[in-house]
Amino acid sequence: MLTKYLHAAMCKASYEILTDGSVYGEIPGFAGVMANTPKLEECREQPLEVLEEWIFLGIHLWHSLPKVDGIELGVGEDIG
């Protein structure tokens, strides 16, 4: 489930080449999940790492996580 969620979120990432030649990337709906790197390939990898940390922090703080393409990661749900 987590892998599908990460993949779905990363499919929504957008990238922009800035005037200084660096690349900015973000994932809409995930506040603070962004990257600014010298090269596009780096910018495609870094948001995934940031997103993983963002999810784990959200779970730790009991925050609701956004639904992505019908996929929900429930916080505090009984899965037993």
What is the predicted pLDDT for the residue at 73? 83
Class of domain 2-60: alpha beta
Positive or negative, the CA dihedral 15, 18, 23, 29 is negative
pLDDT at 4 over 90: yes
Predicted TM-score of the model (pTM): 0.81
What is the per-residue pLDDT across 21-80, written as a single tens digit (0 to 9) for each? 999 999 999 999 999 999 999 998 998 999 999 999 998 999 889 999 999 987 655 444
Residue 51's pLDDT is 95
Tokens standing for residue 73: 């990661």
| Predicted pLDDT of residue 79 | 45
Q: Where in the chain are the domains?
A: 2-60
Task: In whole angstroms, give the CA distance from residue 59 to residue 76.
Answer: 8
